[in-house]
Chain A
Amino acid sequence: MSKKILSENFDNPDAYKLAVYEKLGGYRSLEKLFKTDPASVIEDVKNSGLRGRGGAGFSAGMKWGFVPKDTDKPKYLCVNADEGEPGTFKDRKIMVQDPHKLIEGIIICSYAVGIGTAYIYVRGEYVTPINRLQGAIDEAYASGYLGKNIRGSGFDLDVFIHRGAGAYICGEETGLIESIEGKKGQPRPKPPFPAVIGLFNCPTVVNNVETLSNLPFIINEGWEAYASLGTEKSKGTMLFSISGMVERPGVYEQEFGVNLWEFIENATGGVKGGRKLKGVVPGGSSSPILTAEEARNTILDYESIAAAGSMLGSGAIMVFSEDNCIVKALQVISRFYAHESCGQCPPCREGTYWIARVAERMEEGEGNPGDPDLILDVCPHLMGMTVCVLADALAMPAKSYVEKFRDEFDQHIKEKRCPYASSAASSVMG
């Protein structure tokens, strides 16, 4: 059993209520927090080794340290609850089951950085999480955890929910900022980074829901306690959204450092119906696929997964069985990135569309013998050429699908059909 920091209250159906959360020890970090100098809080979070859980895995404390101290501009926190990376569903779990933990984390971050206003950007489809969260925010205001002079500390903080409206690109931090400002969610060139020029041209921290939800533990137990968990460079625990062909999909918290496949197998009961494992996508649809063998031989932490040629991303693990078709998977994700490209950079707009077209014709049995190589040729033109990394987020997995499962692509082309057509779907027929 892994240490539970983020999911400790997931089994308590009433933990979303303030009174229950307080009984479980909620908001007790604030007393200690307000007695600590904000600069030391930033140091503590740096020392804890906490890294961003939205996808990039950047040190949270370091990011906060980039925000200028001597500015007379207001500072903002944007909480990234857009949760658009396909395969990811853990932030929703936090917002529904334990919303006060997120609010407590927001207070800690805002106090440390000197932020007076936080916007929680929640994807538009998440109506239930939004209602839960709004209820929790209202309770927190009523009990003096938010608003003016929080718990007599002299610290003021307002928290608002900003509802998205269906655009994956608004999960990218500068697309998100544009979207809060009331514009199309088209990412901005960096630098300048949001820490210096962000929301309303003011210094801004953008952090993921899960990242912030770790903060109460770090304040309560001390950064050493957090840093003692995990591996040398991957500290603590992470929430993994496990989906696809497993017996018991769901959100599972795990301390870094265990074997990837053993973790998946123990948590979920392994591949559905005892079928053979084909591959594992370890970090959302943007991450390269690992073959069954790679998944069995990889340690679950940022460095090991990177060494295996993939990335931990948002911790969205998708499991493929022998019944699943890789060409179909490429068709699905390439269509997604083409659909979600914001259109401002030609290599992304054109490149994602091209890959989607070629993948579709291969899956439909109309592929040409040169098509797999065509994909491999196009991929480099999508990488590192654009304002944000949406195009890279297709190029990386596309390349891995073709390179690691070349036979399947060639088979589609040779047989002029998908050899897997609907073999995985028997489970919905009942």
Chain B
Amino acid sequence: MKDETQKQTQKNFAFNDENEKKFRETLNMYPTNMAALLPTLWLAMDQNGYLTDEILEYVAGRLELSPVHVYAVAEFYTMFLRNPPGRYHLQLCRNLSCTLCGSEEILAHLADRFDILPGETTEDGIFSLELVECLGSCGTAPVMRVNDRYCENLTLAKVDKIIEGC
């Protein structure tokens, strides 16, 4: 039953009033509909947190693009999530400066604390862990993003504090 209703709501996905307005503004920024695809997918991400097949079909319909194209684009970009992240999506940088400054120890600590591997979500759905590439914040390495917020100069103690503050 529950699955049925969930499917129902997703089938009925439509932009809320605010995003509908933003969507129309977005169309005016470009000479083609296709160019509005990334911003439109971002609006859908903002509204739903991740992109279901139904949402991709909806976006394709709104922009009069082939669903195949919209799928391919959504899959190409790592920030367009195709599965629900945890309420707090931890994105830890694994690139060079962060590694030099100890990000692997941070990873071991997070994996240990939550008993999950990168790519997984805690059973209660609160935390998900993802390893990402350079976040453009190497001067304050190690770095992770918690949802959209940058947490910098990480130490194990600081990580614990961030998690307890979630």
- Pair A243/B97 contact, Cβ less than 8 Å: yes
Are A427 and B155 CB-contacts (below 8 A) given A166-B78, A332-B95? yes
Shortest B1–chain A CB gap in Å is 35
- Pair B38/A162 contact, Cβ less than 8 Å: yes
Q: Would you call B14 an interface residue if the criterion is a C-beta within 8 Å of the partner chain's C-beta atoms?
A: no
- Pair A425/B105 contact, Cβ less than 8 Å: yes
Are A428 and B105 CB-contacts (below 8 A) given A165-B80, A185-B76? yes
Shortest A348–chain B CB gap in Å is 16
* Residues of chain A with a CB closer than 8 A to B105's CB: 422, 425, 428-429
Stretch at the interface among A26-34, A83-91, A107-115, A380-388: A83-91
Shortest A112–chain B CB gap in Å is 23
A165: contacting residue among B38, B95, B138, B157, CB under 8 A? B38
- Pair B79/A243 contact, Cβ less than 8 Å: no
- Pair A241/B139 contact, Cβ less than 8 Å: yes
Most central of B39, B77, B142, B145 by chain A CB within 10 Å:
B77
- Pair B79/A166 contact, Cβ less than 8 Å: yes
* Residues of chain B with a CB closer than 8 A to A87's CB: 96-97, 134, 138
* Residues of chain A with a CB closer than 8 A to B97's CB: 86-87, 243-244, 249, 318
A153-204, CB < 8 A from B:
160, 162-168, 179-185, 200
Q: How far is the CA of A329 from the CA of B138 in the complex (A)?
A: 15
B138: contacting residue among A124, A185, A316, A328, CB under 8 A? A316
Shortest A422–chain B CB gap in Å is 6
- Pair B99/A332 contact, Cβ less than 8 Å: yes
- Pair B42/A165 contact, Cβ less than 8 Å: yes
Q: Would you call B156 an interface residue if the criterion is a C-beta within 8 Å of the partner chain's C-beta atoms?
A: yes
Q: How far is the CA of A418 from the CA of B156 in the complex (A)?
A: 23
Q: Would you call A349 an interface residue if the criterion is a C-beta within 8 Å of the partner chain's C-beta atoms?
A: no
A427: contacting residue among B36, B102, B133, B150, CB under 8 A? B102
Q: Would you call B166 an interface residue if the criterion is a C-beta within 8 Å of the partner chain's C-beta atoms?
A: no
Q: How far is the CA of A182 from the CA of B94 in the complex (A)?
A: 28
Shortest A42–chain B CB gap in Å is 26
Q: How far is the CA of A120 from the CA of B31 in the complex (A)?
A: 16
- Pair B156/A165 contact, Cβ less than 8 Å: no
Give the A interface residue count (CB, 8 A).
62
- Pair B42/A422 contact, Cβ less than 8 Å: no
- Pair B136/A340 contact, Cβ less than 8 Å: no
Q: Would you call B68 an interface residue if the criterion is a C-beta within 8 Å of the partner chain's C-beta atoms?
A: no
B139: contacting residue among A249, A320, A332, A339, CB under 8 A? A249
Interface on chain A toward B: helix, strand, loop, or mixed SS? mixed
* Residues of chain B with a CB closer than 8 A to A80's CB: none
- Pair A251/B139 contact, Cβ less than 8 Å: yes
**Chain A: which residue is nearest B65 at the CB level?**
A182
Are A182 and B80 CB-contacts (below 8 A) given A87-B138, A165-B42? no
Most central of B38, B97, B101 by chain A CB within 10 Å:
B97
- Pair A424/B34 contact, Cβ less than 8 Å: no
Q: How far is the CA of A425 from the CA of B101 in the complex (A)?
A: 6
B131-159, CB < 8 A from A:
132-142, 145, 148, 150, 154-157
- Pair A83/B136 contact, Cβ less than 8 Å: yes
Q: Would you call A126 an interface residue if the criterion is a C-beta within 8 Å of the partner chain's C-beta atoms?
A: yes
Q: Would you call B56 an interface residue if the criterion is a C-beta within 8 Å of the partner chain's C-beta atoms?
A: no
Q: How far is the CA of A348 from the CA of B18 in the complex (A)?
A: 43
* Residues of chain B with a CB closer than 8 A to A125's CB: 79, 132, 135-136, 145
**Chain B: which residue is nearest A91 at the CB level?**
B136
Q: How far is the CA of A329 from the CA of B37 in the complex (A)?
A: 36
A328: contacting residue among B39, B76, B99, CB under 8 A? B99
- Pair B34/A241 contact, Cβ less than 8 Å: no
Q: How far is the CA of A332 from the CA of B138 in the complex (A)?
A: 14
**Chain B: which residue is nearest A250 at the CB level?**
B139
* Residues of chain B with a CB closer than 8 A to A318's CB: 96-97, 100, 138
**Chain B: which residue is nearest A199 at the CB level?**
B35
* Residues of chain B with a CB closer than 8 A to A412's CB: none
**Chain B: which residue is nearest A128 at the CB level?**
B150
Shortest A53–chain B CB gap in Å is 15
B34: contacting residue among A162, A182, A249, A328, CB under 8 A? A182
- 11 extra A-B contacts, CB within 8 A, seeds A182-B36, A245-B100: A86-B138, A89-B139, A91-B136, A124-B79, A125-B145, A167-B78, A244-B97, A318-B96, A318-B97, A336-B95, A428-B101
Q: Closest 8 A-B residue pairs measured CB to CB?
A: A165-B77, A182-B37, A425-B102, A166-B79, A428-B102, A182-B34, A243-B138, A166-B78
